[in-house]
Amino acid sequence: MVTEALISMMVGVVNGFLSLVPAWAPNTSALTNSGTNIGAWAMAWNGYFPVAVLAACLLLVLAVKLALLGFRTLVWVYHQFWGSD
């Protein structure tokens, strides 16, 4: 009971401070319009050149590159603990 009361007081203090922060969101209309324009452009060019396939291939290459970077980072961290080369 005492622990629950302490936790409730701490949460109440945090909620009190957070309620002072105003609600705000960035204006995303420019990004939405740009995304719509890029999508329309890609759809128009997709009949002449496979833009969708190119984008999928680029995303696949990027995903593989990030996975390999993550693996190299894990190997580097592992070697830092054991002191090997």
In the chain, where are the structural domains located? Answer: 49-85
CA atoms of 40 and 29, how far apart (whole Å): 17
- 19-78 pLDDT, tens digit per residue, is 888 888 888 888 888 888 988 888 888 888 888 889 899 999 999 999 999 999 999 888
| Residue 63 pLDDT | 97
pTM, two decimals, is 0.49
| Residue 47 pLDDT | 82
Q: Do residues 70 and 64 lie in contact, with contact meaning Cβ atoms separated by under 8 Å?
A: no
